[in-house]
């Protein structure tokens, strides 16, 4: 690790695009499979890692949903979340707003409260034991009908104090945001904030629909915005953040090579981009590894690194006073 890599590790950061199910490392997958008497279709941790070669989002999702089957009890969800928070602590990630996919679990008979209680208990311990603040976001699976999302929203109502926002994830192509306008409107009425995956594999039109119809506070991914210059201008003007996930984009072949990635181009143009890890157990790295991969391939400057970290707090759902404190700390690092 060189001096700049050390600097990137030590930089205080917020992570705004992380699927808890995507932080399930093969070692924990094996441990939970044993604990819950589940047989995995792999003989070893190495065999699992070797299977993580994807040519697109769907390739990955098929394996990711299979991996999530080992999560059964409240303690499993606690352990999953806690392992992620320990990684955050080691990389000076100070605030997190992770996603979870309730339908992946409720559809296999795991109750909503098992999932939320396990995750929430770990997040509370993350605050008290590791000093990491957090808000939780629940995502609707867009490959399932909107009616199923409505049902999930209903189940979430008793947990409003534990869930700040709703999101939209899973297979993007062929599942446009407008299919979910009704359930997002209902969620907003219930007091939830909104975010959505758009413009990862899907076209710029999906980003516009997420902004106009789902009233999102952030776009998850959004890198295909560059195909529509007027949309890029709009994003600069409205400063709606993009939660970009560089290693994910390479693993899922959104860009062929990190040298082709557009994140620093968007940053320099004035789009509020942030760096995130998406599904770190599957894509080869957490926050610091993502910063390092971008730094090495695209010659990120110290000023750009600080701006990206600043953006991560500014794009968060933290109250303005806390955002200000983090931004002041980061400005002092120039």
Instruction: Tell me: does residue 169 bind ligand ADE (CB under 6 A).
Output: yes
Contact segment (CB under 5 A) with Zn ion among 8-16, 121-129, 234-242, 270-278 equals: 270-278
| Separation between Cα atoms, residue 235 and residue 242, nearest integer Å | 9
Q: How far is the CB of 97 from ligand ADE (least distance, A)?
A: 15
Cβ contacts of 300 within 8 Å, gap of 6 or more: 264, 291, 294, 308
Q: Site for ligand ADE (CB under 6 A): which residue of 170, 274, 310, 316?
A: 170
Structure tokens at 219: 């776009």
Torsion of CA 322, 326, 331, 332, to 10 degrees: 110
**Residues of span 50-79 touching ligand ADE by CB under 6 A:** 57
**Residues of span 3-32 touching ligand ADE by CB under 6 A:** 19, 22
Instruction: Tell me: does residue 167 bind ligand ADE (CB under 6 A).
Output: no
Annotate each residue in 199-238 with x if it binds ligand ADE (CB under 6 A) or - if it does not, as one string.
-x--------------------------------------
Q: Site for ligand ADE (CB under 6 A): which residue of 72, 248, 262, 277?
A: 248
Q: How far is the CB of 171 from Zn ion (least distance, A)?
A: 12
Instruction: Tell me: does residue 278 bind Zn ion (CB under 5 A).
Output: yes
| Separation between Cα atoms, residue 206 and residue 221, nearest integer Å | 11
Q: How far is the CB of 168 from ligand ADE (least distance, A)?
A: 9
Q: What is the DSSP string of 207-270?
A: HHHHHHTS--SEEEE-GGGGG-HHHHHHHHHH---EEE-HHHHHHTTSSSSGGG--HHHHHHHT
Q: Report which secondary-structure segment, H or E, holds 150.
A: helix 146-156
Residue 137 phi, psi (nearest 5): -125, 130
Residue 199 DSSP code: S
In this structure, the strands spanning 13-15 and 165-169 are unpaired
Q: How far is the CB of 57 from Zn ion (least distance, A)?
A: 9
Catalytic residues: 200
Look at residue 142 and give the partner it binds from ligand ADE, Zn ion, none, a contact being a CB closer than 5 to 8 Å depending on partner kind.
none
Annotate each residue in 261-300 with x if it binds ligand ADE (CB under 6 A) or - if it does not, as one string.
-----------------xx---------------------
| Separation between Cα atoms, residue 287 and residue 312, nearest integer Å | 11
Look at residue 74 and give the partner it binds from Zn ion, ligand ADE, none, a contact being a CB closer than 5 to 8 Å depending on partner kind.
none
Residues that bind ligand ADE (CB under 6 A): 19, 22, 57, 169-170, 197, 200, 248, 278-279
């Amino acid at each position: 690790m060189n001096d700049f890599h050390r600097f990137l590790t030590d930089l205080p950061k917020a992570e705004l695009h992380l699927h808890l199910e995507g932080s399930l490392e093969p070692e924990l997958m094996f441990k939970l499979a044993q604990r819950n008497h589940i047989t995995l279709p792999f003989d070893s941790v190495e065999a699992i890692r070797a299977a993580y070669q994807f040519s697109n989002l769907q390739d990955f999702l098929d394996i990711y949903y299979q991996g999530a089957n080992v999560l059964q009890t409240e303690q499993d969800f606690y352990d999953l979340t806690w392992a992620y928070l320990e990684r955050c602590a080691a990389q000076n990630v100070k605030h997190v707003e992770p996603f979870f996919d309730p339908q992946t679990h409720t559809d296999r008979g795991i109750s909503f409260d098992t999932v939320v209680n396990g995750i929430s208990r770990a997040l509370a311990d993350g605050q008290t034991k590791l000093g990491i603040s957090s808000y939780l976001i629940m995502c609707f699976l867009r490959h399932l009908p909107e009616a199923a999302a409505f049902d999930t929203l209903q189940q979430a109502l008793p947990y409003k104090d534990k869930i700040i926002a709703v999101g939209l994830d899973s297979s993007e192509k062929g599942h446009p945001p407008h299919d979910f306008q009704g359930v997002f409107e209902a969620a907003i009425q219930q007091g939830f904030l909104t975010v959505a995956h758009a413009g990862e594999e899907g076209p710029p039109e999906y980003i516009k629909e997420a902004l106009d119809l789902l009233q999102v506070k952030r776009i998850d991914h959004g890198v295909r915005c560059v195909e529509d210059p007027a949309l890029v201008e709009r994003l600069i003007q409205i400063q709606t953040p993009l939660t970009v996930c560089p290693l994910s984009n390479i693993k899922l072949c959104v860009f062929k090579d990190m040298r082709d990635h557009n994140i620093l181009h968007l940053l320099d143009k004035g789009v509020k981009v942030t760096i995130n890890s998406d599904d770190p157990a599957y894509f080869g790295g957490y926050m610091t590894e993502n910063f390092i991969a971008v730094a090495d391939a695209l010659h990120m400057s110290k000023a750009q690194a600080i701006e990206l970290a600043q953006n991560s707090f500014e794009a968060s759902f933290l109250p303005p006073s806390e955002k200000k404190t983090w931004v002041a700390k980061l400005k002092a690092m120039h």
